[in-house]
Structure formats: structure tokens, C-alpha cells
Structure 1
Amino acid sequence: MTSATRTAPPDPRTAAQAQATRRPRRERQGPAYVFLTPWMLGVGLLTLLPMAVSLYLSFTDYDLFNAPRWVGLRNYVEMFTEDPRYWRSVGTTLLFVVVAVPLKLVLALGVALLLKGMRRARGFYRSAFYAPSLLGASMSIALVWRALYNDGGTVDGVLESVGIHTGGWVGDPDLAVFVVALLTVWQFGAPMVIFLAGLQQIPTDLYEAAALDGASRWRQFVSVTVPMLSPVLFFNLVLETIQSFQVFTPAYAISGGKGGPADSTNFYTLYLYERGFSDSHMGYASAMAWVLLLGIGAVTVVLFKTSRSWVFYQGEEA
């Protein structure tokens, strides 16, 4: 065999360089896991472990004082077939979501459009409209809201001055749920800011081209603004829907923690709280919590599935 046909031995320097380049990557993974440890401990101890315990308790009879007793699917069967208040709470929550979410998004988008067209004091008005969202779902704000809409409150007095006698929204079973909805709609600052950021990203060339084609303001809004803003609209829709299913503090404050009158403000989370902590049926409350989780997950999946037909992302092919 000639020297020309011999296979050259591997260069030890090349192998050493390759090993040197691989070693720092493995060495960098160690500190990464160290920094991730607090987060992983938090997720494990504060989220995953409580969820696992809650799932177990949903199959037990647990009253917070005695050891849990395994009952299988009895909590779920009672929930779906033997508890009419449960289904009333589901209906009340769905009504709240259907009313509050669209109104909040429409109001937030409308104010964002107004702020986009402003030239002076935009920062002031943006801060003023966002301020109610900073208050959050606090008990103090909910109590003030209850006083406004109660019998003899400010809203009742204004309506009576124009000949409309309601006797207070809080005490009316047909209007009490709308008091909670209006409080949620009033705090539209967060989606408004997101809408405003999305509106500022829409190229002005599109509006100029639509105007040259003779499109009116409404046609520009429908054909340019809505399609270009659809990803932001979808994001706000999903976020607000999930939050609306979990409403608790406003309903608790406005109803006095009883879900009244006539269970008109007995939202799902409020009824869950009542069964778990007032009635000491923690197993039943755990089952309700898991049904709520699955329900929110199902609604979110439906929103994602249906978004393919109306959400437009820049850069994707038509």
C-alpha cells in the first residue's frame, strides 16, 4: 500500500478543539439549572403539588376537620345531577362573560381609537383611562360600586330624576349581575393600552391607499384596522374571557358574600367558596375547581380553533 492511499491519522489538535467547544456548553448548563431552581421549586411546591392534592380531594369527602374519605365520582355526580344551585351559578357566570367581555373590549378599542387620533394631552388621558385598572379587583372599590348602585345610591337617584324607578340595582335579581359586569367593564385600561400599542403598529400606507380608493372611515376601520388588529383583539379576547370566568371579589362585595338576591350574583367561584369554606365541603369544592379548569380550557381551545378564520398575521400567506 502506497503512502498516497493511506488514511491520515486524526489530528489530535482538532479533537481537542472540538472537545473544548463542547465542554463550555455543558459547563454553562450547571449555573442555568442553579438559577432555575427557585422557579422550579415554586412551580412544584406552589402550583403542581396543590393541584395534585386538589385533584385527589375532588374524589373524597373532606370537611377540613376530619381525614379525607374516598368517595370516587360522587362529588361529580352530585354536582351535575343533584345540585340546582350549581347550574344556576354556571348560568350566571356565562351571562356575565357574554355581557362583560364584549362590552369591555368594545369600550377599550373605542377609547384606544380616540387616543390614537389625539395630538395633545394623549399621555394624560391614557393615564386617566388606565387608572381604574390599577385599582384591580379590590374590596374597597367593589363596596363603593355597591353604594353607587344600591337603593338610594347615586345611580338610583339619577335615574329617578328622569322618571326611571329601579329601587336600586343591587337588590333587583334582574339587574344585580349587571352591576358586577359594569364594574369589570369600567376597568378597561389594560386591554385599552394593548389596543393602542397595536394600532400604532399599523402602517399608515394602508390607510392612505384605502383613502385613495374612496374608502370611508368606517370602511377603513372594517377593511384595514380590524384585520391588522385581529391578533391583538384575539389576545385580549382570550385573556379577558379567562379572567371573567374567575370573577370573585366584585361579586362577593356586591352580594355581601351571599350571591343574592335570589342567587343572581352567585358566580361559579363564589359558590365554590361557599361550598368549600362556608359549608366545609372541600372535596365538593375541589371537584368544582377542576370542572372550572376543564371548562376554561375547553373555551380557550374553541377560541384558538375559531381564530384561524378571522385572525390575520402579517407575513403569512393568504
Structure 2
Amino acid sequence: MAANKEAVAIILDVGPHMNQGPPNGPTDLEEAKTCAELMIQRRIFSDSKDEVAVVICGSQRTNNSLSSDDEYQHIDVLCGLQPVSFDMLDKLSDVKATQHVCDFVDAIVVALDVIVDKTKNLKCGSRRVVLLSNLGGTFNDSQQNIIADGMKNSDLSLTIVCPFDVQNIGDDAAKLSRSQKKAAEYIGKILEAVSGDSYTFSQAMPALMSYEKKRTRPTPWNANLEIGPDISIPISSYIKVVEVKTKPWKQFVAKRTEVPVRCDAVYYRNDEKETEVEKDSTVLAYRYGSTLVPFTDESRAAMDGNKGGSGRGLQVLGFTDEAN
């Protein structure tokens, strides 16, 4: 994993309490799923190298490395830490609410284990656990200091996305159950200890809907600007605007070892008969406005000769009046 990439474990609560919601509005589970899907989509479309894990809290099945006969039950590691993909989105779309109430604190511990186990020998920019829940389930409040210390020692951060502001309940207090208030106080102390952050669904979704462009590091083209035979100025050139192109179709073709993908190039004249032309009969050309300017082997040899064999660079061939 690259040093500037992020490892993220998304915890999605699907317990029966997540079926709550305003009249004629989406349930808490629907909003939580939308946030999780947007987090993954955002990384797919920006061609991000971040790795993401998805942990289901309150799942029908139990699938995690910490489970025993009576501990860490109904927690499913739906996707281990891996690069984001459309397969991950497909799995997430099939997730439904269940009748199993799960301790979200246990789910946080499982998510921490998933990230630490996969990244312990790797360098990554940051590691983060994101909990999507209305905090309406049961929880064990005896592990608060252990979790906070473990996250700080492992350099992990925590983000909570909830229907209400966990760190500032305010006017929402009247709508919350006693259990939710207690959970908000509990999780708020962990956030404070690890310098984590919290958002409401209404705050998170607009931010996640704006997709990022692919992050690239600008690479200079280093060469010389030559003016006549005696003046050579070192320059570094950068591309200011780059067209974002879709990936070539060859990267998406179905893998069939018995029939490998083969690319054939055929050249035709731009005329009514579309006469086929051999490659040896073609000449490289560059477009200058609407005009195609041929660049033959003789032209290349002449330029290389004038540059003394340097092979690359910019050359001032002459000057002309502005009116031209």
C-alpha cells in the first residue's frame, strides 16, 4: 500500500433499530447504505488506490476472526480490506435490515482488527474506521479506554455518521431514547480521545456526492530551449490541462486464456472507397489547427543533426512578424 493512501473500514449497522425514519422519508438504514455506497463510488470514479473493508453490524451470519461461542456474534466482514470495486457495491446493495441486535462496540473492535492485521507491515497515509449507525442498539461500555488507547497506539482515527450530531445533541435530545443518549456520550468520549469527527447523514451525503478527480503527481518534461547554435536554456515544462480519458477497452475484456486479446491496426484512405493503405506508406503528422503537418524521417534527422544529437528539446527555428 502506498504511503499516501488510506485504509478505511466501513461499519454498517443493520439491526432492527435502523428501520427508524421520518414519516414518508428514508429509514436510517437507507441513508446509511447511501453514505457507504457514495464513499465507495467516490473512490472508484477517482481511480483511488485506497483500500476499503465493509463490516456489517447485526448481520444474519457471523463471519469474523474474533468470534467465539458467545462473543462478537452477528458481525460479518462482508469485504476484507481491498481496493474498491463494483463487486463491493453489488455486495453492499444486497444488505438488508435484520432482527439481530449487535453491539456496535464489538463491531468497532472487529473493524480495528481487520485494518491492523492487514496493514501492520505496510506503509499507508492514514487508517480510519467509519461507523454508520443511529446508535439505537445495545452496547458494552466497559471497553472505552481500551478502544481509545488501542486506536491512538495504532494511529487510527474514528468517524461517526449518524442521524444526529453525536458531539452536540442539542435539539435532537427530545427525539432520542435513553440508550441513544448514553451511546452518544460514550462514543463522544472516544472521538475526543482519538481526535475523531462526527457528521449527520444530511451533512455527509452532499459532500460525498461531489466526486473527486483522479489524483496525479505532475511530472515535468526536462529539456533545453535552443536558440541558434550557441544558446541553450534548460527548461521544465508541465501540462496545464489534461483530458481525462476512459480506460481502454482491453482492460475490461473478459479473461479467456484460450483466446487471448489481439490488437490489429488497419489503415484506410479518407475517401469514398476507403482504400486500405500499408503502414509503410504512411507518414507521421501533427495537427496544427486544422492543418496536418507531415513529420518525415528526413525531417527528424535534420532536426537531430541541428541539435547536435541531443534527441529532445525545443528549438527556435526563426522569427516572424506579428501580422503573420
State the TM-score, normalizing by the size of structure 1. 0.19
Name the one with the larger strand percent: 2
Name the one with the larger helix percent: 1
State the TM-score, normalizing by the size of structure 2. 0.19
